[in-house]
Chains A and B, each alone.
Chain A
Amino acid sequence: DQQVKQNSPSLSVQEGRISILNCDYTNSMFDYFLWYKKYPAEGPTFLISISSIKDKNEDGRFTVFLNKSAKHLSLHIVPSQPGDSAVYFCAASEYNFNKFYFGSGTKLNVKP
């Protein structure tokens, strides 16, 4: 049973607007959460992370929000750019463990 789920396989957004990618998890022991971005024919690239002691982490155009009570995290990209078009994976791990559980990915298409 998947412990990390991304229920939207794809998302299409107009350039300049906000992209919101969602991720749900089931394991309440998860303590560290990450988002990766993956272009075709390349490996995933680390984008942004958040630990469970925070509910928000921001890095430029990218913000990750964590709602522990709902076991939900989201990635906001503002403003979206065509170069953001990629597959985005969320991942989670328990404290002090280096084993990550990945979601199935959401393919983001930012239209010019």
Chain B
Amino acid sequence: DVKVTQSSRYLVKRTGEKVFLECVQDMDHENMFWYRQDPGLGLRLIYFSYDVKMKEKGDIPEGYSVSREKKERFSLILESASTNQTSMYLCASSLTSGHNQPQHFGDGTRLSIL
């Protein structure tokens, strides 16, 4: 079974802090994704990556950046956290592009910015 692990289940940070959310997958998947989930809005894509050191903006990239130095690890960075970034953050991975493959999700990080 695919295992996607997010480093923290709950995180509380202060406005203006730089925040790192880490995600690791163990199935050698090429694609990795970061979403945020908010009530009534479903899952919105922040950034994705289909190879090491490659990244693509999703639908709501403002205020975020990402890093993918190794295939198994995809980090989401909040450069200067703001209260409107309080949300549930979900990481996902999938096999190569070119095939219809489902994404496999981690359990999420509930981030609160005070």
- How many chain B residues touch the partner (CB < 8 A)? 27
CA distance A89 to B103 in the complex (A): 13
Decide if B48 is an interface residue (CB 8 Å cutoff).
Answer: yes
A97-B97 contact in complex given A43-B90, A89-B43, C-beta closer than 8 Å: yes
Interface residues of A in 64-112 (CB under 8 A from B): 89, 91, 93, 95-100, 102-105
| Cα A4 to Cα B45 with chains together (Å) | 13
Q: Is B84 an interface residue (CB 8 A)?
A: no
A36 to B44, CA, bound (A): 15
Q: Is the interface of A mostly helix, strand, loop or mixed?
A: loop
Question: Which residues of B lie under 8 Å from residue A99 when comparing CB positions?
Answer: 45, 48, 58
Verify B94–A98 contact, CB threshold 8 A: yes
Q: How far is the CA of A6 from the CA of B42 in the complex (A)?
A: 9
CA distance A49 to B104 in the complex (A): 13
Interface flag for B34 (CB, 8 Å): no
- Bound-complex Cα distance A75 to B9 (A): 30
Q: B105: which of A4, A45, A49 is its contact (CB, 8 Å)?
A: A45
Tell me the smallest distance from the CB of B29 to a CB of chain A, in Å.
Answer: 10
User: At the interface, yes or no: A29 with Cβ under 8 Å from chain B?
Assistant: no
A-facing residues in B71-114 (Cβ within 8 Å): 90, 92, 94, 97-98, 100-108
If A49-B100, A98-B50, A100-B103 touch, whether A44 touches B43 (CB-CB below 8 Å) is yes
Asked if residues A89 and B42 are in contact (CB atoms below 8 Å), the reply is: yes
Q: Which residues of the other chain, A, contact B103 by a CB distance below 8 angstroms?
A: 46, 98, 100
A41-B108, A98-B50 given. 13 additional CB < 8 A pairs? A6-B42, A9-B40, A32-B100, A34-B102, A36-B105, A43-B106, A44-B90, A89-B42, A95-B100, A98-B48, A98-B97, A99-B45, A104-B40
6 pairs, CB–CB < 8 Å, chain A vs chain B: A42-B107, A43-B4, A46-B104, A49-B100, A97-B97, A98-B103
